[in-house]
Amino acid sequence: AGPASLSRLRGALVAAVLGDCVGGEFEGAEEVPLDSVLKHLDSLDEEAKGSGILEYSDDTAMARCVVQSLLTRAGFDEQDMARRFAKEYSASPGRGYGSGVIQVLKKLSSPQLRDVYQPARDQFNGRGSFGNGGAMRASPFALAFPDLSDVKRFARLGAMLTHSCSLGYNGAILQAMAVHLSLHGALELPQQFISRLISEMEEVEDDELTRMDARILKEADKPFCERLHRVRDLMGRNKVSIEEVISELGNGIAALHSVPTAIFCVLHCLQPRDCLPVSYGGLERTLAYCLALGGDTDTIACMAGAIAGAHYGIEGVPQAWIRCCEGAEDAVMSAERLYMLYHRVPPGD
Ligand code: R7I
Ligand code: MG
Ligand code: MG
């Protein structure tokens, strides 16, 4: 599949849904034996024949709002996107939303609201959330805008509707950039891929607000850059244990402890790994590896799924998995409409 082909867009959107659905099983688990992961993934082939369906969570629910908003408005419209988040939450509040973001979503549904970014700013004593809720739904921005500057700008604004801390929205920028680069085949050269992400994040984090948030939260000066350097170090080693990945990169609910982790999972699984079945393709390896980390498995698998799916294309996604994940068939179709928006094909052509 060539750069930004329909197959790559589909792969990205669909694999993100799969990651969320298959990852839900282990979300919050402290230790996940690889055996349980493989058993869970094996069962998908059987469930596809029966009626078993794995439901998606808030990650996909919000990403679907992003996609629908971008498609309907043919671009970024913060009012429309905020309304869709609020409406989706009130229609299905039980999708596993973060405990803080619920307050934002309730405020966003108020017709009196003047500034749609204000509820997010009020979170956590005015510092805003650093959760990964902005990053988990950032991939569609890379599938709607061909220019990296647009991807960065809109991923940031889209995240700020709920996550106004720089450690939250910068994670969304990083995730969207990783999908953008992967869509263009950048994972063919993994070293260049990670170097490019580092140099882009150097620029993104060269900012007074970022420095201030990092200082308050006792993080490195450029927190995401620091983590990406750790990703690069881990890539250079031929044996890496799950424990080391967790202690170096994290598997938690903060964007800083999950976006670099998702990127590492994709890079690590580009080649076959001894611990994973030889029958697995790259995408299956990536998702299985994310689940084995435990912690915020649905979100890490969702983000890694988008990056890996953009690399392998829809051909790399097992059909049986698509059939038993809620929203996966929808994603196949939405990706086609995003493809037209991305390439600015006029409707009807
Ligand atoms: O970030 P968010 O949307 O949650 C996403 C996660 C994903 O794993 C989903 O799959 C779902 O399970 O939830 O929701 P937020 O409530 O904004 O942030 C998530 C959590 O991060 C909060 O409930 C807090 O525990 C923590 N958190 C903070 N804690 C202290 N100070 C986020 N920001 C702060 C902070 O500034
Ligand atoms: Mg979730
Ligand atoms: Mg999660």
Per-domain boundaries in the chain: 6-342
Contacts 24+ apart (CB under 8 A), 124-127: 124/100, 124/165, 127/165, 127/213, 127/216
The tens digit of pLDDT for each residue in 159-206 reads 999 999 999 999 999 999 999 999 999 999 999 999 999 999 999 999
Percent of the chain predicted with pLDDT > 90? 94
Measured between alpha carbons, how far is 134 from 173 in angstroms, rounded to an integer?
9
Which position has the token pair 């509707």?
Answer: 161
> CB of 271 closer than 6 A to ligand 1?
no
CATH superfamily of 6-342: ADP-ribosylation/Crystallin J1 (1.10.4080.10)
Q: Which residues are CB-contacts of 89 (< 8 A; sequence separation ≥ 6)?
A: 61, 97, 102, 105, 106, 109
**Tens digit of each residue's pLDDT (9 = 90 or more) over 31-89:** 999 999 999 999 998 866 766 799 999 999 999 999 999 999 999 999 999 999 999 99
Whether 101 lines ligand 1, by a CB cut-off of 6 Å, is yes
Question: How many whole angstroms from 43 Cα to the centroid of ligand 1?
Answer: 30
CA–CA gap between residue 16 and residue 75 (Å, rounded): 21
Q: Is 17's pLDDT higher than 70?
A: yes
Residues 6+ apart with CB under 8 A from 99: none
Please tell me the predicted confidence (pLDDT) of residue 344.
87
Q: What separation in Å is there between the alpha carbon of 56 and the centre of ligand 2?
A: 8
Both tokens of residue 249? 């990169």
Note the pLDDT tens digit of each residue in 279-336.
Answer: 999 999 999 999 999 999 999 999 999 999 999 999 999 999 999 999 999 999 999 9
Give me the pLDDT at residue 349, please: 63
Q: What are 253-274's pLDDT values in tens digits?
A: 999 999 999 999 999 999 999 9
Do 251 and 295 contact (CB within 8 A), yes or no?
A: yes
pLDDT band at 348 (very low <50, low <70, confident <90, very high): low
Round to whole Å and give the CA distance between 62 and 84.
Answer: 8
Give dist(CA 77, CA 98) in Å, integer.
24
Is residue 340 over pLDDT 90?
yes
Task: Record the tokens describing residue 99, joined without a space.
Answer: 């405990």
* Structure tokens that stand for 348 in this block: 């009807």
What six digits make up the tokens of 86?
Answer: 């609020």
> Does the beta carbon of 175 lie inside 6 Å of ligand 1?
no
Confidence band of 1 (pLDDT split at 50, 70, 90): confident
Closest Cα to residue 334, out of 60, 136, 21? 60
